[in-house]
Amino acid sequence: MPFGIRDGKLIHISDLSINERGLNCNCVCPKCGEKLIAKMGDIRKHHFSHFNDKCDYALETSIHLFAKEVLEQYKKIVLPELILKYSVNFNKLSDFDSNTYINPLELRTISIVKEQELTFDKVDIEERIDNIIPDIVLYKNNIPIIVEIAVTNFVSTRKKDKIRKLGISAIEIDLHDYNFFDKEKLKNAVIYETKCKKWIFNRKEVMHKKKIIEENKKNVRNNVEEEYTFPSFKNKKNTSNDDYKDPFDKEYICVICNKRTKNWGIRFGDGITCLCNNKECEKKICGKIYKLLTLL
């Protein structure tokens, strides 16, 4: 273990002198409070070890304390970029969480959050917010950002769902591949590196998703109207196109086979989509009409 506690202060093994080896380190475990031994031999990497029985989660707790200490001292963190990938066919929020293959021709991307350095005012560790206890909470102008530290345990799906319901932006910092005994590299990972960070939830992402859904619905509606609708002419005298009939004449042109019909029409805005009694025509238009109606 790389860290111990002495006089309420977090101590890294590299902070000790050779004279503080063994029990002379006067350190205790950050998790259970039991005595630690500073093992500083010539063969193995220097580390702390429990004097008696070792406890679970000591490493995880010590890394959380270190991250909090670093963030409290420097009051800044570099946030990763957040890129949203979506299809032009997405029409509900659950589509964004689907693993369904997206045709490259339909793939769109948008950068919601640019990589940026955030300065903040306050840091809290393991403070309860509603029904969750985040590892760390940063406050900027009283607006919280949750920071989860992953060492051996990553954020569960259940906790992610709770964070989404709270509507608080949150990132996860994955430190499990880092050398915990290199204090400087660990500090740089917490503050500056972005390859180890990812967004669990971002409030802006939800707003962008809803906007995309509305735009997709509007595009589908416009496409269907353009392909399957002809204008309803308000002034019959100004109409010179013999292929179209004024809808009020009760005679229409089937949008599939172009035959004249006195069958029914479906109105979309200022236009009328009409269909003859041919079953094949019904089949061809069915898919488009159904898709539109499910989006409205």
Q: What is the pLDDT of residues 107-154, one digit of tens each?
A: 778 888 999 999 999 999 888 898 899 999 999 999 999 999 999 889
In a domain, 150, yes or no: yes
**What pLDDT shows up at residue 274?**
56
**What pLDDT shows up at residue 28?**
95
In a domain, 218, yes or no: no
In a domain, 156, yes or no: yes
Q: For 153-161, what is the mean pLDDT?
A: 92
Instruction: Tell me, yes or no, whether 37 and 96 share the same domain.
Output: no
Instruction: Tell me, yes or no, whether 116 and 185 share the same domain.
Output: yes
- By residue range, what is the domain housing residue 8? 3-55
d(CA 277, CA 264): 9
Instruction: Tell me, yes or no, whether 193 and 171 share the same domain.
Output: yes
pLDDT digits (tens, 9 = 90+) for 256-294: 677 766 654 544 444 445 556 666 766 666 555 555 445
Instruction: Tell me, yes or no, whether 166 and 277 share the same domain.
Output: no
**What pLDDT shows up at residue 46?**
92
d(CA 249, CA 244): 11
Instruction: Tell me, yes or no, whether 44 and 89 share the same domain.
Output: no
Mapped onto helix, strand or coil, the DSSP state of residue 213 is: helix
Instruction: Tell me, yes or no, whether 71 and 199 share the same domain.
Output: yes
Mapped onto helix, strand or coil, the DSSP state of residue 122 is: strand
Q: For 49-76, what is the mean pLDDT?
A: 90
In a domain, 76, yes or no: yes
**What pLDDT shows up at residue 201?**
93
In a domain, 51, yes or no: yes
**What pLDDT shows up at residue 237?**
45
Instruction: Tell me, yes or no, whether 14 and 75 share the same domain.
Output: no
Instruction: Tell me, yes or no, whether 41 and 94 share the same domain.
Output: no
**What pLDDT shows up at residue 269?**
44
* Torsion angles phi and psi, residue 105, rounded to 5: -70, -20
More confident site: 103 or 159? 159
CB burial string 211-237: b at 16+ within 10 A, e below: ebbeebbeebbeebbeebbbeebeeee
Count up the domains in the chain and report the number.
3
Instruction: Tell me, yes or no, whether 19 and 71 share the same domain.
Output: no
In a domain, 249, yes or no: yes
Instruction: Tell me, yes or no, whether 83 and 195 share the same domain.
Output: yes
Burial of 39 (0-12, 13-18, 19+ CB in 10 A): middle
d(CA 60, CA 56): 9
Pull the structure tokens for residue 90: 């997405």
Mean pLDDT, the chain, rounded, equals 79
Q: Which of 283, 225, 223 is nearest to 256 (CA)?
A: 283
pLDDT above 90 as % of the chain: 45
Instruction: Tell me, yes or no, whether 174 and 68 share the same domain.
Output: yes
pTM value is: 0.67
Instruction: Tell me, yes or no, whether 193 and 68 share the same domain.
Output: yes
pLDDT digits (tens, 9 = 90+) for 216-262: 777 656 555 555 444 443 444 444 445 444 444 455 566 667 776 66
In a domain, 210, yes or no: no
In a domain, 223, yes or no: no
